[in-house]
Structure 1
């Protein structure tokens, strides 16, 4: 699962007069995760702590996972935050919890609960997408047929990735997990004139 692209999630809780503001963002690499931490420090310089955790997928390797207590007692902030991210099944995600101290010490257990609850509060309101890997197919169509066929593809729930118009015709790119069905459908819609070809794969995001 991933956060929806472009979503900057915010959630705030209060524990014994301390404020905990969570910032949650989808990130594609470690640099982007660290940029969120820098952004939080810049926007909230008056806060005592800017604790963080992130999980970033790496192709062909284990995910990169990092956490920081940022001055809180060791193990009371960053690691509990990371555990909540792990438990959510989310990846390519960074969380920063900004804390304004309220004058009452929470103790080790209280801090662990507060930072965990702060991240969970943000996850509870975060827009989430499900990823699906599909085959990509291209088909070349006549201008006169392209609009009708594109509408048919949409109407049958297929994902049209791209429609490229040129002087010689229209190239439509479709993502599907059933290439045989697509070939059969296009043969029916074009009386056998269209011959789609598989050109690779793509990852499609679906709201959950």
Structure 2
């Protein structure tokens, strides 16, 4: 993984390459779950193509598939490219239409890995901000003010449950800003609401 923090695709990307008469088409997309990654693989795989090889990385979850190419020559190199360029929450499918010239194991690794690498290298990317969840109760008197300030604190409301005195909120904030957000909400509510980290 790269040392500058993880990134994800800002939008789906694609790249075509002609390698010794075989056409290689890489398609990559941002995904949030393994099920979403597999749905993308199914959606873009061409049944008429010779091979649809793929890999995804979503946090600790990852998978790759050689789709009939010799073991370790396609899916694994694609996964290594995803990891090597510091991508997370990313799926890449490289489809090959065989052109009659065999590439050999080394050639396949270079073709699949290289096509995936170029596709990701040229794709627009955004940094992944790790978030932590904070929970607190906010009285009705402070709720409108706190809700208005949350976007300025880069806080996203994930849960909101009302009771007779106000609302219990669970917000997701950038990990590095958790202490600052906690202090700001305490200030806004004159100490009545103090967010606590939620497991």
Does TM-score exceed 0.5, indicating one fold?
yes
Distance 1:121 1:67 in 2: 19
Residue 12 (structure 1) aligned with residue 20 (structure 2): no
Residue 52 (structure 1) aligned with residue 51 (structure 2): no
Kindly tell me: are residues 135 and 20 of structure 1, through their superposed partners in 2, closer, same or farther at Cα, counting changes over 3 Å? same
Q: State the shift of 1:142 in Å.
A: 2.1
Relative to the length of structure 1, the TM-score reads: 0.68
Kindly tell me: are residues 149 and 91 of structure 1, through their superposed partners in 2, closer, same or farther at Cα, counting changes over 3 Å? closer
Residue 87 (structure 1) aligned with residue 84 (structure 2): yes
Structure 1 residue aligned with 2:33, among 4, 28, 37?
28
Alignment match, 1:98: 95
Q: State the shift of 1:19 in Å.
A: 1.6
Alignment match, 1:160: 156
Question: Does structure 1 retain, via aligned residues, the 8 Å contact 2:158–2:172?
Answer: no
Relative to the length of structure 2, the TM-score reads: 0.70
Alignment match, 1:141: 139
Alignment match, 1:204: none
Distance 1:79 1:123 in 2: 16
Question: Does structure 2 retain, via aligned residues, the 8 Å contact 1:56–1:65?
Answer: no
Aligned alpha-carbon RMSD (Å): 3.4
Kindly tell me: are residues 187 and 123 of structure 1, through their superposed partners in 2, closer, same or farther at Cα, counting changes over 3 Å? same
Q: State the shift of 1:51 in Å.
A: 1.8
Note the residue ranges of structure 1 that are not aligned, 5 or more in a row. 202-208
Q: Number of aligned pairs?
A: 189
